[in-house]
C-alpha cells in the first residue's frame, strides 16, 4: 500500500484577557506523522506560551515552548517541526497556553499544521468508462 502525506492547518488567536485558546482538527483521515507550528506576529514582552496537542483527552505532544527560535525548512516553511505519531486519531486538538493574560491591545496568532498519511490510489483505467 502506497502512502502520501496530506496536511490540515488551523490558526489559533490569543487575544486580550485570554491565557488559553484551542482549535479542533476534525478533518484528519489517516495516521498522524508530524506537526508544525509558527507564531504569526510576536509574543508580548515578558510573555511565554506553549503549544500542546491532544488526541481526545490524551496529551500526545508535551507542551512546546513557542518562544524557541524558529527555523526555515527546505520547503520554506518558517516554524518548528515536530515528529508526532498517532495511529488512530480521534478528535485532534491544538491548544496554546500563555504564561499571563494578554494586556489591552495585545494579541498574537499561532499557525498549526498536522500531516497525516493517506493511501495513494492508482487506477489502471485511463477513463472511468474503461473501468466499468
Mean pLDDT of 38-60: 86
User: Does 132 have pLDDT greater than 50?
Assistant: no
CA–CA separation, 105 and 63 (whole Å):
26
Mean pLDDT of 59-79: 69
CA–CA separation, 97 and 51 (whole Å):
7
Please tell me the predicted confidence (pLDDT) of residue 108.
Answer: 85
**16-40 pLDDT, tens per residue?**
888 999 999 988 989 999 898 888 8
Least Cα distance to 32 among 66, 61, 63, 73 occurs for 61
- The CATH number for 94's domain is 2.60.120.680
Domain span at residue 113 reads: 3-131
Least confident of 4-8, 55-59, 76-80: 76-80
**87-112 pLDDT, tens per residue?**
989 899 999 999 888 888 888 889 99
Please tell me the predicted confidence (pLDDT) of residue 70.
Answer: 57
C-alpha Rg value of the chain to the nearest Å: 18
Total number of domains constituting the chain: 1
Amino acid at each position: 500500500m502506497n502512502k502520501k502525506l496530506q496536511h490540515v492547518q488551523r490558526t489559533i488567536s490569543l487575544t486580550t484577557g485570554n491565557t488559553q485558546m484551542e482549535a479542533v482538527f476534525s478533518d484528519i483521515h489517516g495516521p498522524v506523522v508530524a506537526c508544525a507550528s509558527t507564531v504569526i506576529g510576536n509574543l508580548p514582552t515578558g510573555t511565554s506560551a506553549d503549544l500542546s496537542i491532544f488526541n481526545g483527552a490524551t496529551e500526545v505532544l508535551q507542551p512546546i515552548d513557542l518562544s524557541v527560535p524558529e527555523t526555515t525548512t527546505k520547503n520554506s516553511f518558517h516554524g518548528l517541526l515536530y515528529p508526532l505519531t498517532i495511529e488512530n486519531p480521534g478528535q485532534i486538538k491544538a491548544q496554546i497556553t500563555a504564561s499571563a493574560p494578554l494586556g489591552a491591545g495585545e494579541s498574537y496568532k499561532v499557525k498549526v499544521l498536522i500531516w497525516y498519511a493517506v493511501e495513494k490510489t492508482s487506477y489502471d483505467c485511463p477513463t472511468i468508462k474503461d473501468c466499468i
